């Protein structure tokens, strides 16, 4: 069974980036935002809910008396008007038309009504043609015709009528209540009473102390009171004042309020008058009349009491959020700084491990390198001895050509030793990434020079397979030397004597190149394949450190590439290193 492990998704950032301040500032920011969201969001949500509930409770506390006053006022006004209409109906039923035409009798009835109810200014009897035929009151009796008046037409149509406040013949504002009645002979007539507007106004103007004790209804309304900064008054359907208003003036002046929709219940609405003033209005429409009782308060009154409470409601969450953020920022900075210190130590340890692994690889190459250096040293020794003998044993100088050949042989051997030591020193040098253009074919063959003696001694066949000319890449020579040396060392350890290792280079798209190193060795078991890049994991019983492939993986990622492994037990392993052609990091 063949298993493939891809390590592209593993995170291995450049070590410089790993411990950069920018990275840790971002970590602090993410930690602060995430922890703050978890800690602060519930507090803000609960504070918002509390804020809304307090606002609604405060508004209810302010408006409840307005609604209560409107409900009580509606009941009082309806009762007041109903009593007057009922009294007129009783008078019409119990008194004959002849008696009503008697002005003395009519004056006696007026006195009885005022003694019983109060607030009745006069009584008048109007025949079916609209002519006043009898009158009792403070004015002189006049044969006035009401045939063309709206109230007269409406009382005949409805049977009972309550008028708007209006100025009569005497130039005084008053309210007319009237009923239509037919006597036993079928003659129709209207009994009309003029109601004292002062008494009527007292039903809503509880601020003015003018004879409230005369009427129990007035005393009851007076005890209700009107809200601070508020106003209470009566308007008709056209918005004209039927009682005086503290805000909008005297009777029969028009209010700037918008039209209030009809409702049989007491309503509470927010409105803006024609002057742009925001108001809270509670209103109740009076049954069987054109009147609407209005109780209002400027919305600023709500805000005046709400602002201090709102400030208190906002101060607590603001202080709590500030404390939470301070603790979160301090805690996140502390933890991230500890993480940064740990990462710095880990980065230093990784550098040390990488260098140690490189030196271990050099140690494994020591035997082959020593053999390579011994050959040119033997040539140098032999030629130097021969040169000495020619000079010391002969009285004459040897031929120039012979001396030149011996010296050139010594120089060539010394140059060969220098090349070997230069490669070793370059491989062992511990330095940062150095970007340069690299010939992969030449680099791989250069690495194989370190292993040439072992391959020759163990009769290991090394083949090359290229699809076209291998491209040059921009990377770090020393780092790639270590990568391929680690992989080839593992391949040499996996194959038996007489084994085979094949190296291939293929283009991957237009931006990458893949180097494949395949062997026909023992392979890697499936259960171990996923751990081969873990530090200190090794399949070489007692012979490996477990750092080679781990460091190889980190180097490849640092150079912008990725590495993958395909292996099958008994058939061999193929390691693929994919590298970018151009420079991967700035």
78-132 pLDDT tens trace: 888 898 899 999 998 888 888 888 888 989 999 998 888 887 888 999 998 899 9
CA–CA distances in Å: residue 100 to residues 179, 421, 491, 576, 582: 14, 144, 134, 124, 120
pLDDT of residue 12: 40
What does the alpha-carbon distance between residue 243 and residue 196 come to, in Å, rounded to a whole number? 12
At 577, the pLDDT band (50, 70, 90 cuts) reads: very high
353-371 pLDDT tens trace: 766 666 666 665 565 566 5
- Which residue is associated with the tokens 């390691």? 575
pLDDT of residue 469: 80
Share of the chain above pLDDT 90, in %: 13
Q: Which fold has domain 365-430?
A: Helix Hairpins (1.10.287)
366-397 pLDDT tens trace: 655 665 676 677 667 766 776 777 777 766 66
What does the alpha-carbon distance between residue 26 and residue 328 come to, in Å, rounded to a whole number? 15
Instruction: Kindly state which CATH superfamily the domain 10-341 is placed in.
Output: PAS domain (3.30.450.20)
> Quick check: 13 pLDDT over 90?
no
Q: Three-state SS for 65?
A: helix
CATH class of 433-586: alpha beta
CA–CA distances in Å: residue 87 to residues 74, 191, 462: 20, 11, 129
Tell me if 324 sits within 8 A of 39, measured CB to CB. Answer: yes
> Quick check: 54 pLDDT over 90?
no
What does the alpha-carbon distance between residue 579 and residue 508 come to, in Å, rounded to a whole number? 9
At 540, the pLDDT band (50, 70, 90 cuts) reads: low
399-416 pLDDT tens trace: 777 777 767 777 777 776
The domain ranges of the chain are: 10-341, 365-430, 433-586
Burial per residue of 115-144, b for 16 or more beta-carbon CB atoms within 10 angstroms, e otherwise:
eebebbbbbbbbbeebebbbbbbeeeeeee
Q: Nearest to residue 489, comparing CAs of 539, 548, 437?
A: 548
CA–CA distances in Å: residue 456 to residues 166, 363, 452: 129, 19, 6
What does the alpha-carbon distance between residue 9 and residue 325 come to, in Å, rounded to a whole number? 35
What does the alpha-carbon distance between residue 533 and residue 552 come to, in Å, rounded to a whole number? 8
What does the alpha-carbon distance between residue 333 and residue 89 come to, in Å, rounded to a whole number? 89
**Distance linking the first and last C-alpha atoms of the chain:** 41
Average pLDDT of the residues of the chain: 79
Please provide residue 478's backbone torsions phi and psi, each rounded to the nearest 5 degrees.
-60, -40
Helices (H) and strands (E) in the chain, counts: 14, 18
* Global model pTM greater than 0.75: no
More confident residue, 152 or 227: 152
pLDDT of residue 366: 60
| Domains 365-430 and 433-586 belong to one CATH topology | no
């Amino acid at each position: 069974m063949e298993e493939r492990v891809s390590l592209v998704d593993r995170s291995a950032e450049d070590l410089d980036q790993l411990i950069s301040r920018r990275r840790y500032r971002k970590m602090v920011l993410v930690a602060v935002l995430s922890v703050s969201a978890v800690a602060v969001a519930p507090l803000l949500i609960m504070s918002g809910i509390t804020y809304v509930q307090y606002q609604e409770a405060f508004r209810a506390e302010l408006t409840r008396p307005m609604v209560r006053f409107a409900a009580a006022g509606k009941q009082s006004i309806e009762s007041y008007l109903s009593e007057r209409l009922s009294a007129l109906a009783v008078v019409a039923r119990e008194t004959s038309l002849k008696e009503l035409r008697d002005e003395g009798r009519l004056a006696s009835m007026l006195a009885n009504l005022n003694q019983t109810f109060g607030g009745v200014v006069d009584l008048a009897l109007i025949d079916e043609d609209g002519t006043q035929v009898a009158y009792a009151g403070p004015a002189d009796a006049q044969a006035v015709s009401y045939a063309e008046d709206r109230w007269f037409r409406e009382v005949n149509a409805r049977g009972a009528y309550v008028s708007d406040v209006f100025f009569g013949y005497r130039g005084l504002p008053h309210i007319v209540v009237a009923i239509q009645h037919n006597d036993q002979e079928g003659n129709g007539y209207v009994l009309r009473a003029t109601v004292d507007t002062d008494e009527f106004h007292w039903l809503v103007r509880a601020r003015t102390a003018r004879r409230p004790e005369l009427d129990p209804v007035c005393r009851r309304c007076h005890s209700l009171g009107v809200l601070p900064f508020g106003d209470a008054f009566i308007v008709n359907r056209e918005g004209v004042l039927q009682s005086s208003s503290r805000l909008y003036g005297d009777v029969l002046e028009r209010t700037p309020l918008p039209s209030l929709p009809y409702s049989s219940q007491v309503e509470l609405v927010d409105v803006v008058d024609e002057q742009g003033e925001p108001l809270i209005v509670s209103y109740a429409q009076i049954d069987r009349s054109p009147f609407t009782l209005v109780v209002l308060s400027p919305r600023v009154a709500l805000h005046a009491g709400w602002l201090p409470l709102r400030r208190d409601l906002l101060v607590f969450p603001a202080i709590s959020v500030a404390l939470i953020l301070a603790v979160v920022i301090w805690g996140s900075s502390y933890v991230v700084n500890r993480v940064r210190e740990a990462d710095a130590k880990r980065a230093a340890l990784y550098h040390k491990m990488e260098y140690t692994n490189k030196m271990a690889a050099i140690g494994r190459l020591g035997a082959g390198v020593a053999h390579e250096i011994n050959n040119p040293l033997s040539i140098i020794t032999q030629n130097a001895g021969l040169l000495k003998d020619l000079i010391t044993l002969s009285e004459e100088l040897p031929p120039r050509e012979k001396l030149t050949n011996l010296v050139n042989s010594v120089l060539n051997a010394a140059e060969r030793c220098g090349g070997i030591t230069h490669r070793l020193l370059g491989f062992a040098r511990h330095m940062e990434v150095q970007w340069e253009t690299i010939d992969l074919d030449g680099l791989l063959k250069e690495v194989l020079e370190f292993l040439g003696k072992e391959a020759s001694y163990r009769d290991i066949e090394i083949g090359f397979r290229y699809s076209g000319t291998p491209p040059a890449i921009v990377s770090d020579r020393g780092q790639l030397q270590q990568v391929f040396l680690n992989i080839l060392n593992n391949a040499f350890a996996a194959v038996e004597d007489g084994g085979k290792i094949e190296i291939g280079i293929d283009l991957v798209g237009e931006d990458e190149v893949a180097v494949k190193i395949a062997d026909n060795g023992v392979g890697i078991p499936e259960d171990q394949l996923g751990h081969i890049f873990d530090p200190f994991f090794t399949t070489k019983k007692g012979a490996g450190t477990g750092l080679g492939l781990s460091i190889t993986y980190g180097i490849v990622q640092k150079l912008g590439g990725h590495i993958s492994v395909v292996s099958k037990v008994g058939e061999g392993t193929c390691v693929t290193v994919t590298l970018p052609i151009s420079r991967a990091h700035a």
